[in-house]
Amino acid sequence: MNILAEVTEQDYAADGNLPQGFLFGAIKNVGNQIANVNGVDLPPGEAKSYPFVGKGYPQVPFTVNGSTLRVMMIV
């Protein structure tokens, strides 16, 4: 059986995004500053996720604002 999805997990200290077409995503602010994910503030220690809904998501941008974000996604 071929593997169809790829899991990526890494920390970001610079702005970035979950790419268009991702199937699942989770972002946790592991830094000390308020970050911003898709236009919504994400305080230190908080997390948000984008669950699998049967099709890919549009691109989701994030701004670290001097913090660090731990991002896990399935594409």
| pLDDT in the model for residue 67 | 98
Q: What is the pLDDT of residue 1?
A: 66
Q: According to CATH, what is the number of the domain 7-74? A: 2.60.120.10
pTM: 0.91
* Amino acid 20: pLDDT: 97
Ranges in the chain, pLDDT < 50: none
d(CA 29, CA 52): 21
d(CA 50, CA 23): 8
Handedness of CA 5, 61, 51, 66 (dihedral sign): positive
pLDDT of residue 5: 82
Beta strands 69-74 and 16-18, pairing class: unpaired
Q: What is the pLDDT of residues 16-36, one digit of tens each?
A: 999 999 999 999 999 999 999
What are the boundaries of each domain within the chain? Answer: 7-74
Tokens representing residue 36 in the block = 């911003």
